[in-house]
Amino acid sequence: MYKLVNRRKIRAYRKMRFWRRRQSDLSKPRLCVFRSTRHIQAQIIDDVKGVVLASASSVEKDVRSSGLKGKAVAQKVGALVAERAKKAGTSTVVFDRNGFNYHGRIQALADSAREAGLLF
């Protein structure tokens, strides 16, 4: 239990570190990623207007039916969110890893979004 509480605190500190830097420049929308043990989801959020411009998730029917797991699902979600962002007219974003380490599925999602044309 002790180790779990510390992991949560450490993630919270990493989130705060991002938000301290983010408050000074809200000109670009952010690509926010959430990872659970089973699923991964990404949203492109305009913080000035408070709206979601594009989103993709591993819970969606077309992603779920592909039968992929782990990093492969993260890559598919990253490509989907980049494609939907282009349709919404956004090409440059700020990557918000939401306190998660830039490793594994988070890294796979970010790399595939870059390959699909998002700049960050």
Q: With a threshold of 0.75, does the pTM exceed it?
A: yes
- Per-residue pLDDT of 45-59, as tens digits, reads 999 999 999 999 999
Residue 45 CA to residue 113 CA, distance in Å, equals 15
pLDDT 10s digits, 77-98: 999 999 999 999 999 999 999 9
Q: Which DSSP string do the residues of 47-85 spell out, in sequence order? A: TTTTEEEEEEETTSHHHHTTT--THHHHHHHHHHHHHHH
pLDDT one-digit tens code per residue, 27-80: 899 999 999 999 999 999 999 999 999 999 999 999 999 889 999 999 999 999
What is the rounded distance in angstroms from the CA atom of residue 27 to the CA atom of residue 56?
22
